[in-house]
Structure formats: structure tokens, C-alpha cells
Amino acid sequence: MKTELILQQLEAKHPGEAEYLQAVREVLLSIEGTYNRHPEFERARLIERLVEPDRIISFRVPWVDDHGEVHVNLGHRVQFCNAIGPYKGGIRFHPSVNLSILKFLGFE
């Protein structure tokens, strides 16, 4: 596996997504030995298929608070490979949550 090359490509494609990139780095380093013993993984481009989400859904959530004020928040759902079963994770609305954190949570 060309771990550093894959990570460089991801960093160029997803700048500023530190949490997500750190999770990918940790996983790739932990599986590198096993991955390298199976050339069929490389032919199937397994890593490239696993590190990119199948889909990212972003949506707005308008709501009214107890004082009648209208607020609009963003919601996100990130879905990675469902090859071994249903997508894991959920929907997050908290203002401190960003796409990098959601990709990190979905990838782990």
C-alpha cells in the first residue's frame, strides 16, 4: 500500500479536515501489513473505495425557539461503505460539529 501517497491525495482533496484525515491515517497504518500481503486488495482499489464516503447529505433545519425566534441550523449525514451491512452513525445538528468530525465518526 502506498500509504503516504494515499494520505497526500486525501489531504489535497480534503484540506482542513484534520479529524477525518487523522482517522484515515491511523486506520491505514494499522492495516498496512495485512493489506500488503494481499495483492488482490490493490487490484480492487479497496482503500480508495473505503476512505471516500458513498454519500454526504447536508440539509437545513429551520426551527422556532420558545421566544418565537426562527433559527436555521445545518444538519449532515455521512455514509461510508455499506458492503458489510447498513450504514452506521446518525444525524448531527450541534453547531460545533463540522463535516470533518462527521466524516471521522463515520469512517472509524
Cα 72 versus chain centre, distance: 24
**Domain ranges for the chain:** 3-107
Instruction: Tell me the C-alpha distance between 103 and 5, whole Å.
Output: 20
Which percentage of the chain shows pLDDT scores above 90? 52
Interval 47-69 mean pLDDT: 93
pLDDT score for 31:
93
